């Protein structure tokens, strides 16, 4: 029972490089989310999706892009990495709009140098 | 945007002691959630609260949804070493889609 799977677990990027953080869930959940967690801080929502083909900005979307071509996958794209994007990124999913038990992946620790 | 103030930021307690942490908001929430995050893992849901005044327990954990709908607390009784981790509150407002607003977390350390 995989749940929410994120890859990679760790990554170091140079300023200006790009990368895609992968997230996939096998629970057939409609809603998927990307959060970032900075040291000593709570989780801030970057982007979310209410279903395949639909995405929307969260609280801190600048510098990121997402796509949702399938129910299972919700990749997060960084086009021009900046040191301010050094953080731990979490993907999460929920089955329906008002079911709030969000299932989280294990996180991706990204360092931009 | 909505903000959640969670306190304390950290606690260092002796095994067996009770723990209390809380979250307050300037906005009303329809749902309060409490998560625990262990090192290298994503947050895991502990307790969900859906109604103002609701008091819910999960083993040694008890959480309450404040009457004003702007606060919630989590108590842990008789702490044990495996309670170590970061505890997050999260609130959701039905009028803001299904987005959760998270508190800054309470880092709990338990001395055996």
Of B44, B98, B102, the CB nearest to A94: B98
Q: Please calculate the CA angle A55-A56-A58 and round it to the nearest 5 degrees.
A: 135
Cβ-defined contact of B98 to A107 (cutoff 8 Å): no
| Inter-residue contact B52 to B65 (CB < 8 Å) | yes
| Inter-residue contact B14 to B111 (CB < 8 Å) | yes
Coil, strand or helix at A55: strand
Digit-coded pLDDT (tens) for B50-100: 999 999 999 999 999 999 999 999 999 999 999 999 999 998 877 666 677
Task: Check if B85 contacts A (Cβ < 8 Å).
Answer: no
Mean pLDDT for the stretch of residues A54-79 = 95
Mean pLDDT for the stretch of residues A53-57 = 94
pLDDT at A60: 93
């Amino acid at each position: 029972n995989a749940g929410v799977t994120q890859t990679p677990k760790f990554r170091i990027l140079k300023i200006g490089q790009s990368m895609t953080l992968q997230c996939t869930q096998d629970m057939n959940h409609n809603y998927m989310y990307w959060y970032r967690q900075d040291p000593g801080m709570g989780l801030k929502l970057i982007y979310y999706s209410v279903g395949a083909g639909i995405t929307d900005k969260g609280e801190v979307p600048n510098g990121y892009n997402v796509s949702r071509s399938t129910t299972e996958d919700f990749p997060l794209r960084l086009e021009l990495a900046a040191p301010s994007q050094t953080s731990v990124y979490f993907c999460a999913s929920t089955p329906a709009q008002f079911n709030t038990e969000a299932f989280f992946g294990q996180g991706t620790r990204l360092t931009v140098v | 945007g909505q903000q959640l103030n969670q306190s304390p930021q950290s606690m260092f307690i002796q095994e067996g002691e009770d723990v209390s942490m809380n979250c307050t908001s300037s906005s009303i929430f329809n749902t309060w959630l409490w998560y625990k995050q262990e090192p290298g893992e994503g947050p895991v849901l502990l307790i969900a609260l859906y109604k103002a005044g609701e008091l819910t327990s999960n083993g040694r954990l008890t959480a309450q949804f404040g009457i004003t709908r702007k606060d919630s607390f989590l108590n842990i009784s008789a702490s044990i070493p495996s309670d170590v981790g970061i505890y997050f509150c999260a609130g959701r407002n039905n009028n803001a889609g299904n987005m959760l607003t998270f508190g800054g977390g309470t880092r709990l350390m338990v001395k055996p």
